[in-house]
Structure 1
Amino acid sequence: DAIVYQSGSLALQGTGDSSIRSSFSNPSLGPVKNAFWLCPDGQPDSLYGKYNHPVTQVTWNDAQAYCKWKSELTGQNIRLPSEREWEYVASDFGKLSPENFFWDEDRIVEFCNIEETGILDTLPVDHFPENEYAGGTMDLFGNVFEWVQDAHDKKISNRSPHTLEYKIARGGSFITHFKHIAAWRRIPFLKSYCTSFLGFRTVCDDV
């Protein structure tokens, strides 16, 4: 359910400017599924039985609370990925430019759960084995949007992300049209917002 990838560098999200880069090393990235979401001190799971589906109906604040709980439980630093980290993995670890996509448009439904797939609901995270990147990252596109740490307004990114009301989700979902599936696309939501097509995955720094 997680991957470890090597040190790398990446352009700021969506700019395509390779002269602006930031480096990091050795985080672990994995989806949060309903099976992970269940815990003794949590509320009952409204999607009982979908243990291998991504968790949904969670706000950005809920995702932060989960990361805090999981960090305390494991003794590791669990958090949401930054936009830069998410995009680095989504661009095949920096191999593709932000405007490029991975598959021919006629075949995209074979690789991710989007509007054209016709399911209009979540699928298990391993439903599309071909939708697998280096290290085993799956479902970065489609199925559910994924909360990331960043605030919507880049101009005030030096402020604490916890103080800003609009947060970013990436990746698209089962109701996203294929033309809107791209590594660079960022969608703002209120951090108190939750819905059936919005979930999250986590990063573990201690690997």
Structure 2
Amino acid sequence: TVAPFFMGKYAVTQEQWEAVMGNNPSNFKGAKRPVELVTWYDAVAFCQKLSQKTGKKYRLPSEAEWEYACRAGTSTPFYFGETITPELVNYDGNYPYGAASKGVYRKEMTPVGSFPPNAFGLYDMHGNVWEWCADPWHNNYQGAPQDGREWDEKNNDNRYQDYDLLVNIMNDNRTRLLRGGSWLSYADPCRAAFRLFNSLDYRLYYIGFRVVCSGAWSS
């Protein structure tokens, strides 16, 4: 079960980031494009500063909240159904999923809201930018909280059992989950269930985030 929460209908945009943080670190400039080149620490700092400005509690979504929000009641690989096309999602159309045909590869981010939303009214949960979640990486869901909360360090006994998963973490075992795929991704990593992780201080031009507002808990 997942407690009620509010989630941003878009990934945080560059104009939103600049209004709160006073700068714009992004590579692909555009007021309505998602902010990118932000670390997990940067995303948390944004949430903290936004909370101070508004008096409300903003934070990153837990992994469970993110997938619940992405699926919007569906059980298919994508909230659109069994597959996606570049007309529905911004990803590398040269590498389709399932029976889909090849399509356009835009090679850059698109403004938020450029593609149809899911049944919850959330945009770009597949593709455009990977999105940071609050949780540390776990190899599986054994022992995960049953209420949708962040699975924090105290319950992190299953981490790093597979050495091959650590090769690209720059010898830094402090990691957080990424979800959703990006404009650079093949179709498969854009699936609702696909999980990726990276270092807390990893900064790339295809990683952004969206915020959650909830009084139930904070991280």
TM-score, normalising length: structure 2: 0.73
- Which of 34, 37, 44 is residue 54 of structure 1 equivalent to? 34
- Helix, strand or coil: the match of 1:151? coil
Please give the residue correspondences for 1:121-136 in structure 2 after superposition, counting only pairs within 5 Å. Answer: 121-128=108-115, 130=116, 132-136=117-121
Report if the CA contact (8 A) 1:64-1:80 is conserved.
Answer: yes
Mind listing any 5+ residue stretches in structure 2 that lack a counterpart?
Answer: 94-103, 145-150, 156-172
Post-superposition offset of 1:147: 0.2
- Match of residue 139, structure 1, among 117, 124, 130: 124
Corresponding residue to 1:120 among 103, 107, 117: 107
Q: Tell me the TM-score normalized by structure 1.
A: 0.77
Question: Shift in Å at residue 65 of structure 1?
Answer: 0.2
Question: Which runs of 4 or more aligned residues in structure 1 lie more than 6 Å from their structure 2 counterparts after TM superposition?
Answer: none
Show CA shifts across 1:129-187 (max 9, x none).
x2x112320000000000000001367944269xx711110000011111332111110
What's the secondary structure of 1:123's corresponding residue?
A: coil
Partner amino acid, structure 2, of 1:38: E
Structure in which a larger fraction of residues adopt strand: 1
Answer yes or no: is 1:76 the counterpart of 2:56: yes
CA contact (8 A) 1:146 1:171 kept: yes
Q: How many residues align?
A: 178
Shift of 1:100: 6.0
1:188 aligns with 2:197: yes
Q: CA RMSD in A?
A: 2.5
What secondary structure sits across from 2:86 in the alignment? helix
Q: Which amino acid aligns with 2:64?
A: R
Matches within 5 A, 1:33-48: 33-39=13-19, 42-46=22-26
C-alpha contact 2:128 2:182 (8 A) present in aligned 1: yes
Displacement of 1:109: 1.2
Instruction: Give unpaired runs (5+ residues) of structure 1.
Output: 1-8, 10-22
Report the equivalent of 1:151.
136
Contact kept? 1:80, 1:201, Cα under 8 Å: yes
Distance in 2, Cα, partners of 1:143 & 1:175: 8
Task: State the Cα distance separating 1:56 from its structure 2 match.
Answer: 0.2
Match of 1:29 in 2: 7
Spell out, residue by residue over 1:73-125, the C-alpha distance to the aligned partner (whole angstroms, 9 max, x if none).
000000000010010011123x326x5663454x5211110011311111001
* In 1: Cα distance, 2:42 partner to 2:52 partner: 15
